[in-house]
Structure 1
Amino acid sequence: MTDAETTRIVAWSAELRLVHTRIRAALEVTRQAVRDGISSAQVSRDLLLYCHGFCAALDGHHQGEDRALFPAIEAAHPELAPVLRSLTQDHSMISHLLQGLREAVDRSAPPVELDQHLEGVAAIMENHFRYEEKQLLTVLADLELHAAVPDVLGPL
Protein backbone atom coordinates (compact mmCIF):
# COMPACT_ATOMS: atom_id res chain seq x y z
CA MET A 1 0.00 0.00 0.00
CA THR A 2 1.37 3.43 -0.95
CA ASP A 3 1.48 6.46 1.36
CA ALA A 4 -1.27 8.09 -0.69
CA GLU A 5 -3.52 5.05 -0.25
CA THR A 6 -2.85 4.99 3.49
CA THR A 7 -3.65 8.69 3.71
CA ARG A 8 -6.91 8.18 1.79
CA ILE A 9 -7.95 5.26 3.98
CA VAL A 10 -7.23 7.05 7.24
CA ALA A 11 -8.91 10.18 5.92
CA TRP A 12 -12.41 8.63 5.77
CA SER A 13 -12.81 8.95 9.52
CA ALA A 14 -11.56 12.54 9.39
CA GLU A 15 -13.82 13.30 6.42
CA LEU A 16 -16.88 12.00 8.28
CA ARG A 17 -16.10 14.18 11.29
CA LEU A 18 -15.49 17.18 9.02
CA VAL A 19 -18.83 16.73 7.24
CA HIS A 20 -20.63 16.37 10.55
CA THR A 21 -18.96 19.55 11.81
CA ARG A 22 -20.01 21.45 8.70
CA ILE A 23 -23.60 20.23 8.93
CA ARG A 24 -23.73 21.18 12.61
CA ALA A 25 -22.49 24.66 11.67
CA ALA A 26 -25.11 24.97 8.90
CA LEU A 27 -27.80 24.02 11.41
CA GLU A 28 -26.55 26.65 13.84
CA VAL A 29 -26.59 29.37 11.15
CA THR A 30 -30.15 28.38 10.28
CA ARG A 31 -31.24 28.37 13.93
CA GLN A 32 -29.61 31.76 14.47
CA ALA A 33 -31.53 33.17 11.50
CA VAL A 34 -34.77 32.02 13.14
CA ARG A 35 -33.72 33.45 16.53
CA ASP A 36 -32.86 36.79 14.91
CA GLY A 37 -36.44 37.02 13.70
CA ILE A 38 -37.94 37.10 10.26
CA SER A 39 -39.74 40.43 10.18
CA SER A 40 -38.60 41.60 6.78
CA ALA A 41 -38.95 40.07 3.33
CA GLN A 42 -35.14 39.98 2.96
CA VAL A 43 -34.65 38.03 6.16
CA SER A 44 -37.43 35.66 5.10
CA ARG A 45 -35.64 35.01 1.80
CA ASP A 46 -32.38 34.47 3.67
CA LEU A 47 -34.04 32.03 6.05
CA LEU A 48 -35.53 30.17 3.12
CA LEU A 49 -32.04 29.81 1.62
CA TYR A 50 -30.50 28.73 4.93
CA CYS A 51 -33.19 26.12 5.59
CA HIS A 52 -33.19 24.71 2.08
CA GLY A 53 -29.39 24.72 1.99
CA PHE A 54 -29.17 22.94 5.33
CA CYS A 55 -31.81 20.40 4.30
CA ALA A 56 -30.05 19.73 1.00
CA ALA A 57 -26.68 19.29 2.73
CA LEU A 58 -28.00 16.85 5.32
CA ASP A 59 -30.07 14.90 2.77
CA GLY A 60 -27.08 14.72 0.40
CA HIS A 61 -24.84 13.47 3.19
CA HIS A 62 -27.24 10.69 4.14
CA GLN A 63 -27.90 9.69 0.53
CA GLY A 64 -24.15 9.35 -0.06
CA GLU A 65 -23.77 7.21 3.03
CA ASP A 66 -26.69 4.98 2.04
CA ARG A 67 -25.50 4.66 -1.56
CA ALA A 68 -21.73 4.28 -1.15
CA LEU A 69 -20.37 4.27 2.39
CA PHE A 70 -22.66 1.82 4.15
CA PRO A 71 -22.47 -0.87 1.43
CA ALA A 72 -18.66 -0.64 1.55
CA ILE A 73 -18.64 -0.95 5.32
CA GLU A 74 -21.05 -3.88 5.25
CA ALA A 75 -18.94 -5.67 2.63
CA ALA A 76 -15.84 -5.30 4.81
CA HIS A 77 -17.62 -5.76 8.17
CA PRO A 78 -20.82 -7.81 7.81
CA GLU A 79 -21.16 -7.90 11.59
CA LEU A 80 -22.08 -4.20 11.45
CA ALA A 81 -25.20 -4.82 9.36
CA PRO A 82 -27.57 -4.14 12.31
CA VAL A 83 -25.78 -0.86 13.08
CA LEU A 84 -25.97 0.19 9.43
CA ARG A 85 -29.69 -0.66 9.28
CA SER A 86 -30.29 1.45 12.36
CA LEU A 87 -28.37 4.37 10.85
CA THR A 88 -30.33 4.01 7.60
CA GLN A 89 -33.58 4.12 9.58
CA ASP A 90 -32.33 7.31 11.23
CA HIS A 91 -31.73 8.75 7.77
CA SER A 92 -35.34 8.05 6.85
CA MET A 93 -36.63 9.65 10.06
CA ILE A 94 -34.42 12.71 9.59
CA SER A 95 -35.57 13.01 5.98
CA HIS A 96 -39.18 13.06 7.19
CA LEU A 97 -38.35 15.77 9.74
CA LEU A 98 -36.53 17.80 7.08
CA GLN A 99 -39.58 17.59 4.83
CA GLY A 100 -41.68 19.03 7.64
CA LEU A 101 -39.17 21.86 8.03
CA ARG A 102 -39.20 22.57 4.29
CA GLU A 103 -42.99 22.71 4.28
CA ALA A 104 -43.02 25.07 7.29
CA VAL A 105 -40.50 27.37 5.63
CA ASP A 106 -42.35 27.31 2.30
CA ARG A 107 -45.58 28.43 3.97
CA SER A 108 -43.80 31.10 6.04
CA ALA A 109 -44.57 29.47 9.38
CA PRO A 110 -43.96 31.63 12.45
CA PRO A 111 -40.50 31.59 14.02
CA VAL A 112 -41.69 29.56 17.01
CA GLU A 113 -42.85 26.76 14.72
CA LEU A 114 -39.66 26.88 12.65
CA ASP A 115 -37.62 26.68 15.83
CA GLN A 116 -39.60 23.61 16.93
CA HIS A 117 -38.85 21.91 13.61
CA LEU A 118 -35.17 22.81 13.88
CA GLU A 119 -35.03 21.62 17.49
CA GLY A 120 -36.46 18.24 16.47
CA VAL A 121 -34.03 17.88 13.60
CA ALA A 122 -31.13 18.98 15.82
CA ALA A 123 -31.94 16.43 18.54
CA ILE A 124 -32.24 13.46 16.19
CA MET A 125 -29.32 14.58 14.02
CA GLU A 126 -26.95 15.02 16.97
CA ASN A 127 -27.89 11.66 18.46
CA HIS A 128 -27.44 10.06 15.03
CA PHE A 129 -24.05 11.69 14.43
CA ARG A 130 -22.73 10.65 17.85
CA TYR A 131 -23.88 7.05 17.40
CA GLU A 132 -22.49 6.93 13.87
CA GLU A 133 -19.12 8.26 14.98
CA LYS A 134 -18.99 5.89 17.95
CA GLN A 135 -19.81 2.87 15.81
CA LEU A 136 -17.96 3.67 12.59
CA LEU A 137 -14.89 5.88 13.10
CA THR A 138 -12.57 2.99 13.94
CA VAL A 139 -13.94 0.99 11.00
CA LEU A 140 -13.42 3.96 8.68
CA ALA A 141 -9.76 4.11 9.70
CA ASP A 142 -9.23 0.82 7.85
CA LEU A 143 -11.87 1.05 5.13
CA GLU A 144 -10.59 0.65 1.59
CA LEU A 145 -12.99 2.75 -0.41
CA HIS A 146 -11.66 4.51 -3.46
CA ALA A 147 -14.25 7.12 -4.34
CA ALA A 148 -14.67 10.87 -4.34
CA VAL A 149 -15.61 12.34 -0.95
CA PRO A 150 -18.79 14.06 -2.26
CA ASP A 151 -19.99 10.74 -3.69
CA VAL A 152 -19.57 9.05 -0.33
CA LEU A 153 -20.33 11.76 2.23
CA GLY A 154 -22.36 14.31 0.32
CA PRO A 155 -21.64 17.62 -1.34
CA LEU A 156 -20.15 19.36 1.70
Structure 2
Amino acid sequence: MFAELLREHPDLAGTVAKLVQDHEMIASILSRVAELADHAARSRGPALEAIGRELDGLAAIMESHFNYEERTISAALDGGIPATGWSELVFRFRDGAH
Protein backbone atom coordinates (compact mmCIF):
# COMPACT_ATOMS: atom_id res chain seq x y z
CA MET A 1 0.00 0.00 0.00
CA PHE A 2 2.83 2.39 0.79
CA ALA A 3 4.22 2.11 -2.73
CA GLU A 4 0.85 3.06 -4.22
CA LEU A 5 0.46 5.87 -1.71
CA LEU A 6 3.86 7.26 -2.67
CA ARG A 7 3.02 7.12 -6.38
CA GLU A 8 0.01 9.31 -5.70
CA HIS A 9 1.57 11.45 -2.96
CA PRO A 10 5.38 11.61 -3.27
CA ASP A 11 5.35 14.41 -0.71
CA LEU A 12 4.63 11.74 1.93
CA ALA A 13 8.00 10.01 1.44
CA GLY A 14 9.32 11.04 4.87
CA THR A 15 6.12 10.00 6.58
CA VAL A 16 6.04 6.64 4.81
CA ALA A 17 9.70 6.04 5.70
CA LYS A 18 8.86 6.59 9.39
CA LEU A 19 5.85 4.27 9.16
CA VAL A 20 7.97 1.56 7.52
CA GLN A 21 10.54 1.98 10.29
CA ASP A 22 7.76 1.57 12.86
CA HIS A 23 6.55 -1.59 11.11
CA GLU A 24 10.06 -3.04 11.27
CA MET A 25 10.32 -2.20 14.98
CA ILE A 26 6.93 -3.79 15.64
CA ALA A 27 7.97 -6.94 13.75
CA SER A 28 11.13 -7.11 15.86
CA ILE A 29 9.16 -6.82 19.09
CA LEU A 30 6.72 -9.50 17.95
CA SER A 31 9.65 -11.81 17.20
CA ARG A 32 11.03 -11.11 20.68
CA VAL A 33 7.61 -11.84 22.23
CA ALA A 34 7.48 -15.17 20.37
CA GLU A 35 10.95 -16.08 21.68
CA LEU A 36 9.97 -15.10 25.22
CA ALA A 37 6.72 -17.07 24.94
CA ASP A 38 8.64 -20.17 23.89
CA HIS A 39 10.93 -19.73 26.88
CA ALA A 40 8.03 -18.95 29.24
CA ALA A 41 6.23 -22.13 28.19
CA ARG A 42 9.11 -23.99 29.82
CA SER A 43 9.33 -21.82 32.96
CA ARG A 44 7.48 -19.33 35.14
CA GLY A 45 8.06 -16.04 36.93
CA PRO A 46 10.63 -13.74 35.31
CA ALA A 47 10.01 -15.12 31.84
CA LEU A 48 6.35 -14.15 32.05
CA GLU A 49 7.26 -10.72 33.41
CA ALA A 50 9.57 -10.18 30.41
CA ILE A 51 6.68 -10.91 28.05
CA GLY A 52 4.57 -8.36 29.90
CA ARG A 53 7.27 -5.71 29.52
CA GLU A 54 7.60 -6.40 25.80
CA LEU A 55 3.83 -6.26 25.33
CA ASP A 56 3.63 -2.98 27.26
CA GLY A 57 6.28 -1.54 24.96
CA LEU A 58 4.49 -2.89 21.91
CA ALA A 59 1.20 -1.33 23.04
CA ALA A 60 2.85 2.07 23.49
CA ILE A 61 4.51 1.91 20.07
CA MET A 62 1.33 0.75 18.36
CA GLU A 63 -0.73 3.55 19.91
CA SER A 64 1.83 6.16 18.88
CA HIS A 65 2.14 4.61 15.43
CA PHE A 66 -1.58 4.55 14.71
CA ASN A 67 -2.06 8.11 15.98
CA TYR A 68 0.80 9.32 13.77
CA GLU A 69 -0.46 7.33 10.79
CA GLU A 70 -3.95 8.71 11.19
CA ARG A 71 -2.73 12.31 11.48
CA THR A 72 -0.31 12.15 8.59
CA ILE A 73 -1.81 9.99 5.85
CA SER A 74 -5.54 9.73 6.51
CA ALA A 75 -6.37 12.65 4.21
CA ALA A 76 -4.37 11.07 1.39
CA LEU A 77 -6.03 7.70 1.94
CA ASP A 78 -9.47 9.31 2.12
CA GLY A 79 -8.79 10.69 -1.35
CA GLY A 80 -8.43 7.15 -2.63
CA ILE A 81 -5.60 5.09 -4.07
CA PRO A 82 -5.97 3.65 -7.58
CA ALA A 83 -6.93 -0.03 -7.62
CA THR A 84 -3.78 -1.74 -8.88
CA GLY A 85 -4.19 -4.94 -6.90
CA TRP A 86 -2.38 -3.71 -3.79
CA SER A 87 -5.48 -4.13 -1.63
CA GLU A 88 -5.66 -7.86 -2.37
CA LEU A 89 -2.23 -8.27 -0.78
CA VAL A 90 -3.16 -6.18 2.24
CA PHE A 91 -6.59 -7.69 2.87
CA ARG A 92 -6.12 -11.26 1.68
CA PHE A 93 -6.70 -12.63 5.19
CA ARG A 94 -10.01 -10.85 5.54
CA ASP A 95 -12.07 -13.68 4.03
CA GLY A 96 -10.01 -16.43 5.60
CA ALA A 97 -7.97 -17.07 2.43
CA HIS A 98 -4.34 -17.57 3.37
Is the pair's TM-score, using the shorter chain for normalization, greater than 0.5? yes
Secondary structure of residue in 2 paired with 1:89: helix
Q: Does 1:135 align with 2:67?
A: no
Amino acid at match of 1:137: S
The CA distance in 2 between the partners of 1:113 and 1:141, in whole Å, is 39
Output the TM-score relative to the length of structure 1: 0.51
Amino acid at match of 2:54: H
Flag the structure with higher helix content. Answer: 1
The CA distance in 2 between the partners of 1:77 and 1:138, in whole Å, is 11
Larger RCO: Structure 1 or Structure 2 (Cα < 8 Å, ≥ 6 residues apart)? 1
User: Unmatched 5+ residue regions in structure 2?
Assistant: none
The equivalent residue for 2:19 is 87
- When the two structures are aligned, how many residues end up with a matched partner? 88
Secondary structure of residue in 1 paired with 2:80: coil
| Runs of 4 or more consecutive aligned structure 1 residues displaced over 2 Å after TM superposition | 147-150, 152-156
What percentage of residue pairs aligned between the two structures are identical? Answer: 32
Map Cα deviations across residues 95-119 of structure 1 (whole Å, 9 max, x no partner): 1111110100011163322111100
